Structure 1
Amino acid sequence: MAQRHLDLGWLRTFDAVGRLGSLTRAAQELGLTQPAVTYQIRRVEEQLGLSLFHRSQGGSRLTEAGEVLFRAVRASVERIDDAAQETLRKARDPAIRIFTDYGFAAFWLMPRVADFRRLHPKAEVHIVASQSLEDELERDTDAAMVFGARGDFPPSAKLLIPERVVPVCAPGFLERYGPFDDPAQFANVPLLHLETTEKARWLTWATWLAAHGVAREPEQGDLGLNTYGFVIQAALAEQGLALGWIGLVDHHLAQGGLIQVGPEITRHDRGYWLVPSPSAHGTTAALLDWLINET
């Protein structure tokens, strides 16, 4: 079914003629007569005192002035159409959409959303997870919960969990390779790395070890994985030492599946931030407030 567009008068008419290069085709697209389209274009030209199109038997080609106006009108029409569709979507689908990464979704967010839905059984929550966070703040979501520094986010962002990182491993791995009395010993055992195509915004083994005066890069025997869930699964399977983010590995530490085997590093300027949509209200605002209180 064709999308219904808001009536933007001359803007949509000018956009159609500029895109299609033809008064006739623009009239057909808009469901108007060609004289009606011609009239609207002439009215705009009269108001500006400029010709916007070169007219010929082959169609209507934008003048230099027309090109300038067309670029602005095209962008405006697209943004208005997108906003209108978003308004309709939210009216039809009141679900709360939250964007985050896979690890935070699995280990922190989903258990708490489950608790919230027990208190608010009619609330519909969609968690949108991605390992690539390059465009997280541009997505069609009601809030983003993403990792970074204070300067990465707008003033409305709230810090949910500061970055607190400890080395962890399974009890069986500790029996084979431990005990670990000094971080320098980690340089001689298999390490589990969270791989990323972007510049890491979180602590890596290289930066964690460097903070303790140990130089070590990934080497043979290590294991690289592209999601944090895989890293934790590999650690539970006694495949190596992992970096454990407090807030994400708490359950495994409490249950004894993982053991802290080294000192903690805390960076209070970094962590997981809640970035709400400016339009968040009602049940969305209630959920976000509830999640903030959970921290």
Structure 2
Amino acid sequence: MSERQLDLGWIRVFEAVGRLGSITAAARALGLSQPAVSYVVRELETQLGTPLLVRGHRGSALTPAGELLHRAARAAAGEIDTAARAVRRLSRRPVVRLFTDYGFASFWMMPRVAAFRQVHPETDVHIIASAGADHGLDGAEDVAVLFGARRDFPPESVQLVEERIWPVCSPAFAARHGLGQEPARIGNLPLLHLESTPHPRWFGWSDWFAAMGLARGPAASDLSLNTYGLVVQAAMADQGVALGWAGLIDGALADGTLVAIGPSLARRETGYWLAPGATLSEPARDLIAWILGEARAGSTGLPAHEKGS
């Protein structure tokens, strides 16, 4: 006659009793009554025909048979918990967190994120954007895309866009002021500034004028704004001349919403860098590969008048 199989509902209870060395402590940990835990152990001993615990005033100790069974219960409970976590993950949509600044989120990522979702509809991308996104990574994100120099980022980081700027404005503003490719004339017009720290990591108007061999200080007609999105909106609204960054204003230059009205200024070691997180899920790897592919596809980063030069 085959042996009677054990009812497996006891596993969690007996594992707790053996681990905690007390029926009372096990009951407290499991949210059960002490008599309920005692009943499970007695029923188990009855089914097996041997004592599993030596009961004392200060708790309960496992008998040799109890030790053998407890090892199996502990292993089984651990495997079941691992499998349960995996099953729950299967039922959830994978989420990838991308940490970046407002400029990259608004002008580079958002116009493209719908394309990623078409390729990977099962993955949610949570974009965590900050006006003051720094290159000090804390490991909370899956992927970070931040502005800085090569030295600011881990060795495995990849440069997406080289820092390159042009003076840009709306077509109507350029026509009204007769602007072409004459840097000296730009200094007589209202300039749009992105507010920054005393030692910004990116180019400012002073850098551009110095590279052109021109001097131009602050003027009453200038306008300072605290996000790059506002700077671009002000330029589109005929409020002045802004510095346009490659990778961020490519779409506006391509559709004619903005026009470049002066020579570019570039430096190779600075720009937007992609830094992967310490541990990457498969969806995070998919997002990284997709971002790199998109960056390569738009790698020229030049307005029409500079392409081929």
Residue 283 of structure 2 aligns with an amino acid whose one-letter code is: T
Q: Which has the larger radius of gyration?
A: 2
Residues 36-65 of structure 1 show CA distances to partners (whole Å, capped at 9, x for unaligned) of: xxxxxxxxxxxxxxxxxxxxxxxxxxxxxx
The residue correspondences of 1:23-34 to structure 2 (distance < 5 A) are none
CA distance in 1, matches of 2:250, 2:183: 21
The residue correspondences of 1:174-213 to structure 2 (distance < 5 A) are 174-197=174-197, 199-213=199-213
Conserved in 1, the CA contact under 8 Å of 2:192 and 2:241? Answer: yes
Residue 159 of structure 2 aligns with an amino acid whose one-letter code is: L
The secondary structure found in structure 2 opposite 1:219 is: coil
> Which runs of 5 or more structure 1 residues have no equivalent in the other structure?
1-30, 32-86
Tell me the equivalent position of 1:24.
none
Deviation (angstroms), 1:191: 0.3
Deviation (angstroms), 1:181: 3.9
CA distance in 1, matches of 2:211, 2:139: 35
CA distance in 1, matches of 2:236, 2:291: 28
Tell me the equivalent position of 1:222.
222
Residues 124-143 of structure 1 show CA distances to partners (whole Å, capped at 9, x for unaligned) of: 11000001123651152111
Larger deviation, residues 229-238 vs 246-255: 246-255
Residue 273 of structure 1 aligns with an amino acid whose one-letter code is: W
Tell me the equivalent position of 2:287.
287
The secondary structure found in structure 2 opposite 1:266 is: strand
The two structures, once aligned, show a CA RMSD in angstroms of: 2.1
CA distance in 1, matches of 2:107, 2:220: 29
CA distance in 1, matches of 2:289, 2:218: 40
The secondary structure found in structure 2 opposite 1:188 is: coil
Conserved in 2, the CA contact under 8 Å of 1:112 and 1:291? Answer: no
Residue 143 of structure 1 aligns with an amino acid whose one-letter code is: V
Does residue 270 (structure 1) correspond to residue 284 (structure 2)? The answer is no
The residue correspondences of 1:66-215 to structure 2 (distance < 5 A) are 94-134=94-134, 136-138=136-138, 140-197=140-197, 199-215=199-215
CA distance in 2, matches of 1:129, 1:93: 21
Residues 52-109 of structure 1 show CA distances to partners (whole Å, capped at 9, x for unaligned) of: xxxxxxxxxxxxxxxxxxxxxxxxxxxxxxxxxxx99x96774100010101101101
CA distance in 2, matches of 1:147, 1:198: 16
Q: Scaled by the length of structure 2, what TM-score is found?
A: 0.64
Aligned residues: 209
The secondary structure found in structure 2 opposite 1:126 is: strand
CA distance in 2, matches of 1:217, 1:138: 38
Residues 217 and 154 of structure 1: CA distance in aligned 2, closer, same or farther (over 3 Å): same
Deviation (angstroms), 1:217: 2.5
Conserved in 2, the CA contact under 8 Å of 1:136 and 1:144? Answer: no
How much identity, in percent, do the aligned residues show? Answer: 49
> Which runs of 5 or more structure 2 residues have no equivalent in the other structure?
1-28, 30-84, 296-309
